[in-house]
Every structure is written in C-alpha cells, then in structure tokens.
Structure 1
Amino acid sequence: MRLRTALTDLVGVEHPVVQTGMGWVAGPRLVAATAEAGGLGILASATMTFAELEAAVAEVKGRTTRPFGVNLRADAADASDRVDLLIREGVRVASFALAPKREFIERLKAAGSVVVPSIGAAKHARKVAEWGADAVIVQGGEGGGHTGGVATTLLLPSVLDAVDIPVVAAGGFFDGRGLAAALAYGAAGVAMGTRFLLTRESTVPDAVKQQYLQRDLNGTVVTTRVDGMPHRVLRTDLVEHLEQSSRVTGLYHAARNAQRFKRLTGLRWREMVREGLATKHGKEQTWSQMIMAANTPMLLRAGLVEGDTDAGVLASGQVVGMLDDLPSVRELIERIVDDAAAIIGKLPAVLTD
C-alpha cells in the first residue's frame, strides 16, 4: 500500500514516514534501513566530528541508493563546511535542529537539496518559509529530547494555518492511527524518534531497549536539570538524582562530562564555549547551564551507546508507554502505512447526505 503526499513528492520517498535525527541513535545502519524500506531516514550529525560525518554519509550511500537526509546544527562552528559536504555528496535532504541561516538555505536549494528545518512554533515556521525552506518538521510536547510545552494536537494546526509548505508532524506518533490522523489534519507525513529507536536495526544496546519497553505512559519526565532546557527523558535513578540534587552538584558532574566530551570530539574549550554561548538564543542562561549543555552529549552517549543507565540519560517520547515490540524497520513502516491506508479507506462510510 502507498500513500502519496506532498512529502513523498518533494523528497522522492515511497512512504510519508520520517525517522528523526536522534543523536547517538540515527546512524548509518538505521538511516539506510529506513531509506530501503521507503521512508526518509535522517542521519544525526550533531554528535559527530566532521570526519565521522563524512564517513557516515559514505556508509549510508554504500548501503542504499535511495534518498536520505542529514540533520545539522545551524550554530555549529563548522556548519558551513558541513553544508558544503552535503552539497558535494548529493545528500537529498538537509534537516536543521535549529533555524538555519538564510545563506545555508540558499546554498542548499541552489544545489538541488531539500531543506527541512525542525521548528517548535508557528512564528518560526513562517520565518524559515520566508527564507525558502521547502518543508518543516513540527514537534509537539509529547516528543522526546528537547521539547516544548504545547501538545502536537494544537501545535500542528497552528503551523498548518501559518505556512503553505509541507508540514511533517512529530511528537506522539507510533502507528497507522497517528499517521491517518496527521494526514487528516493536513500534514504531509509523520516523523518518529522513539519508535525507530525501538527497532531491530537501532544500535542502542538491547538491555537499554528493554528498559524503554518496560515503561508506561508515566515513564518519562520533562526536566531542566540535564542541560538547563526542557528535555523529555525516561525516569531513571540518575534523572531522579539530578532532579533532587543541588545545582552545585549538577555543575560538578557536568564539568567532568564536558571534559570527556571535549576529548571524544576533539573540540577545543574555545569552541565549546562558543557553542555554549550559541545555545542562549536570547534566553537568560547562566554559565552553569552552558556547561550542562556541553555535558548533555556525554550523558546521552553513556546511556544510548555504552548502555550505562546509571551514568546516562535516555531521551524518550511519551509514546514509549505504548510500545511493546522490536520490529524491523521495514515491518514497522509497512505496518504503519497499511494500517493508515485501511483507516482512511473506511472514512467515506461515515459521510451521509
């Protein structure tokens, strides 16, 4: 079964299903599997060095000839070089975690790339649309990782009313019912993170996947104690400790992990400070919050890569409480699309004269 939408036409994928660019999770294996199954896989580059991103793009291209995307941090020190890499390698979709510079949009579009920023408010959607973005991904408060306080059911229609470009809905989606509902709202597709994290192709350790599968609908919490910004994560002993600990204790552990992240990525302190300053975005953040922001990649890596849930943080959407299996990516996408098509096919029956 196939569903043709503005997203499938724009990107050239078979199904209107997007696998989001989750740091430490959305690597070449998961992205290529999504592409091969007919969806849009997005490679996460924020936790990669430039050399690692080059290698990851090459690996995805070695695994599939279908379209895929790369998620970029617009405020990264080498963002311009990464844009050049995407253009040089012919990456179909450039996804941005923060509003991209107008210059980046223009360069990518001139090269034939599709630019799809992630946004969290209608006013941000208007801005990037005016700058030439081809589509947007809008995530409601149900989503994992950094999130806002407005539910998808309200945020999505507000964005659809604000722009004329395709809108992809994220936050709270995991099955065909969600896809059918998103299309009924007027969205061009859905984007999912946690649901793709819990697939067989995901490289997250199996023991960690089981921790996700054991959670109910109250198994996540939005905390500011990870990096000073609202962050939806699984409720774990570490998160509970962070919530209850003093800011001085949190700052001490953040500084230690920031040093580990510096060694891992090869970034200099000057670069880390510059990127920390860039996270302000007009917000009144303290220096301790900026150090916490530098610490976040290490907390996520410990849990999602090393499997150390005692020392790591596990980003998760609320949908984790609805999930109880580990399908292959192909099984997942085909099931979602088939179920959505069946639901849509029944809708004419509710119409009466």
Structure 2
Amino acid sequence: MRTRITELTGVRYPIVQTGMGWVSGPELTSATANAGGLGILASGTLSKDEMVAAIRAVKERTDKPFGVNLVGTAPDVEERAAALVAEQVPVASFAMAPKQRVFGLLKDAGVAIIPSVGARRHAEKVAAWGADAVLVQGGEGGGHTGAVPTSLLLPQVVDAVDLPVIAAGGFFDGRGLVAAMAYGADAIAMGTRFLLTADSTVPPQVKQAYLDAGVDGTVVTDLIDGVPQRVLRTPLVEQLVAGGGRGPRALVRSVRSAVALKRQVGSSWPDIVRQGLAMRTQRQLSLRQVLMAANTPMMIRTGMVDGRVDVGSLASGQVAGLIDELPTCAELIDRIVAEAEKTLARLGGAP
C-alpha cells in the first residue's frame, strides 16, 4: 500500500496517529512507528526542553520515522522548529500554520511539513507556502473541528491542491482507508482510535468512558474555550451545555487555566499575550475566545492525565461509539491493512 504519504515520510503504511495533547507521548508515538504507521508526538503542552526530551525518548524506543506536532502560534515556534532540525525529526505537523518563515526553516533542512486544515482556502494557503502535504479534518473528528463532514471536505481539498492529502475525521478501520483513497486521499489519520489502544497511557477509567459512549455520545460545543470542538458528553460538558458555560465564572476558569498552562510550558506573561494576539489574528477569534483559549489544554489534562472523567474535557471523534476494544497499535494497524486489502479485493482492485 504505497502512496505519496508513505514515500514522503518513509513509513510502511498510509496510517497516521494524530498529535493529541496529553495523549500522544513517546509511548504511543513509538508504538505506532514500530507498527508501520506515522506516529506524531504532541508538543503543545510541553516546554521546549521537555519536547526535546520526549523526542529523544521516542528515539530510544524506535528507529522508525515519526513526526512532532507544533503549535504554529507559539512564541517560541522558531526555536522549536530549529530543535526538530537538530534532532533530525523527519516530519513536522501543525494544528495551526505558523508564519511562512518557519516553513522555510524546516524545508531548508529537509523536514516534511504537514499542516492540518479545515477548509479548502486553508489548504490553498499552506500549499502556496510550500507545505509538503495537508491533513484534512472533517466535522466527525474530535477536538477543534468544523461543520463540514469529511465526505464533502476531503474531495474539495483533493481537487484544490496538488499535494498528498491525509484524511481525518471518522476513520477507524480498513474500509475507511479504502474509502478515503477512493476520494483521492493518500492516507488516513486517527486520534480517538489510537487513544483507545493498549499502548495509550490514558488512564483505564478514561478509556472506559470512551468505550461506553454511543454514536450519540459526543457533542460539538464552544463553551469550553470559545471555539467549536467535539468532546464526549461528560458530566461537566453536560453542565456547560445546560447553561453553565458562559459569564464571569467561565472567564475566571480561563484565567486559572492560563496560569496553570503558563507553568506547564514555561511561557512568560508577555509570551502568553503575544500568542493570544496571534491566535486572534490567524483564527479570527473574538476577545472572549482568546481569553478562553487556555481552557482546553488544562481541562484535557484533568481528564487524560488525572483521570477525572467527571470534571475533565475529553476530546473525541464520533467513532468512539463504534469502538469496543483496546488492541495494541501493531494489532490495530495490521487489522486495518488486512481489512483494506480484503475490501480492495472485493471491489476488484489490487493493493
């Protein structure tokens, strides 16, 4: 199953594990890489030094290619990009595109750049800047997401840019991989499906909350950080949706989250302000949305690290309702590839 993505990144299979804050650490990233997929290390909740340490921890566990996800609006994104070059990381992914000069720094060093996009115009923009591929997430995906489903957004982007395209949002098996490739994608990316593996370090009670969810067990809300995101219907989320997510209390919670996040990533207050202004400009956020932006990483930490399902925020794709077991990454990827080959054979194609 060779595609432009496997050729670009050097992995065996066109399957990507997305960079999820507090979830995609060295263990999950290396397990995915060893299984033949592209593991992406999340760095947005790490300081730069912690990011470098995590990169080295991945290297201790695998000699296969992997990537690191960077926050494009981070004040030290250029220093982090330089660290990826120094550590010889082959792939850099971005949840939000950085300034164009960061692309140049990475491209000059031969690092493959794969930003995530949620609209055709975003794909066209990063393509013009020199992106090597794009990850397209439809509305079925977890975390911050748009309203357009993958089945409509994916072909639109495939037709708009002459780049390898990775499809995300709603994928969990080999049938989905074949469907994505039929639309013109070169790979699929999965977050929730990799979170729900034996190699994921997420606490057992959190995994069980995902396994217990039905296909209607997620909701898209902007009450956590001001921007629409898909999350599990936890008690906290249900409370917010029922009317407790706006007003002074929400802003007080945001300030507390900002203080905690500042300590976690080692940023200064001027850095926090600059990042907020950059987010407001790039993502066209209101002042209220900027003030609430720190909520998501800290609320996810409460769930994914502390295991507090009752008061944490659990980003989730709709596919959580179709998952009922916890294979290893190797078992999952082998199963997806075998099912894709079987599906192609049934359709009269060839892998």
| TM-score grouping bracket, smaller chain normalisation | over 0.9
Q: After TM superposition, give the deviation of residue 282 of structure 1 in Å.
A: 5.5
Contact conserved, 1:194 with 1:320, CA < 8 A, in 2?
yes
Q: After TM superposition, give the deviation of residue 267 of structure 1 in Å.
A: 2.1
Report what 1:184 is aligned to.
182
Paired amino acid for 1:301 = R
Q: After TM superposition, give the deviation of residue 258 of structure 1 in Å.
A: 2.2
Q: 1:208 aligns with which of 197, 206, 209?
A: 206
Paired amino acid for 1:289 = Q
Q: Tell me, in whole angstroms, the C-alpha distance in 2 between the residues paired with 1:142 and 1:185.
A: 16
Q: After TM superposition, give the deviation of residue 285 of structure 1 in Å.
A: 3.9
Query: What aligned pairs does 1:1-353 form with structure 2 within 5 A after superposition?
Result: 3-243=1-241, 244-245=243-244, 246-281=246-281, 285-348=285-348
Paired amino acid for 2:200 = S
Contact conserved, 1:276 with 1:294, CA < 8 A, in 2?
no
Normalising by structure 1, we get a TM-score of: 0.95
Give SS of 1:240's match.
helix
Contact conserved, 1:24 with 1:300, CA < 8 A, in 2?
yes
Contact conserved, 1:197 with 1:204, CA < 8 A, in 2?
yes
Q: After TM superposition, give the deviation of residue 6 of structure 1 in Å.
A: 1.0
Name stretches of at least 5 consecutive residues in structure 2 with no aligned partner.
none
Q: After TM superposition, give the deviation of residue 266 of structure 1 in Å.
A: 2.7
Q: Percent identity?
A: 57
Q: Tell me, in whole angstroms, the C-alpha distance in 2 between the residues paired with 1:242 and 1:269.
A: 28
Q: Tell me, in whole angstroms, the C-alpha distance in 1 between the residues paired with 2:41 and 2:34.
A: 14
Contact conserved, 2:218 with 2:233, CA < 8 A, in 1?
yes
Contact conserved, 2:215 with 2:319, CA < 8 A, in 1?
yes
Give SS of 1:190's match.
strand
Normalising by structure 2, we get a TM-score of: 0.96
CA 4–220 in structure 1, closer or farther in 2 if over 3 Å, else same: same
CA 226–330 in structure 1, closer or farther in 2 if over 3 Å, else same: same
Q: After TM superposition, give the deviation of residue 113 of structure 1 in Å.
A: 1.0
Q: Tell me, in whole angstroms, the C-alpha distance in 2 between the residues paired with 1:263 and 1:72.
A: 18
For residues 144-178 of structure 1, what are the alpha-carbon distances to aligned partners after superposition, in whole Å with 9 as ceiling and x for unaligned? 00000000000000000001110000000000110
Q: How many residues align?
A: 347
Give SS of 1:311's match.
coil
Paired amino acid for 2:166 = V
Paired amino acid for 1:199 = T
Name stretches of at least 5 consecutive residues in structure 1 with no aligned partner.
none
Which 10-residue stretch deviates more, 304-313 or 248-257?
A: 248-257
For residues 220-277 of structure 1, what are the alpha-carbon distances to aligned partners after superposition, in whole Å with 9 as ceiling and x for unaligned? 0000001100011001110122221142221122222222222333322222222122
Q: After TM superposition, give the deviation of residue 305 of structure 1 in Å.
A: 0.7
Give SS of 2:93's match.
strand
Paired amino acid for 1:279 = M
Computed over aligned residues only, the root mean square deviation of the Cα atoms, in angstroms, reads: 1.3
Contact conserved, 2:47 with 2:264, CA < 8 A, in 1?
no
Paired amino acid for 2:120 = A
Paired amino acid for 1:313 = S
For residues 282-322 of structure 1, what are the alpha-carbon distances to aligned partners after superposition, in whole Å with 9 as ceiling and x for unaligned? 56644443221122211010001110122210000000010
Paired amino acid for 1:257 = S
Contact conserved, 2:46 with 2:264, CA < 8 A, in 1?
no
Give SS of 2:281's match.
coil
Q: Tell me, in whole angstroms, the C-alpha distance in 2 between the residues paired with 1:148 and 1:230.
A: 7
CA 53–319 in structure 1, closer or farther in 2 if over 3 Å, else same: same
Contact conserved, 1:7 with 1:189, CA < 8 A, in 2?
yes
Give SS of 1:281's match.
helix
CA 169–283 in structure 1, closer or farther in 2 if over 3 Å, else same: closer
Contact conserved, 2:209 with 2:309, CA < 8 A, in 1?
no
Which 10-residue stretch deviates more, 148-157 or 310-319?
A: 310-319
Q: Tell me, in whole angstroms, the C-alpha distance in 2 between the residues paired with 1:256 and 1:68.
A: 34
Q: Which runs of 4+ in 1 moved over 6 A?
A: none
Paired amino acid for 1:314 = L
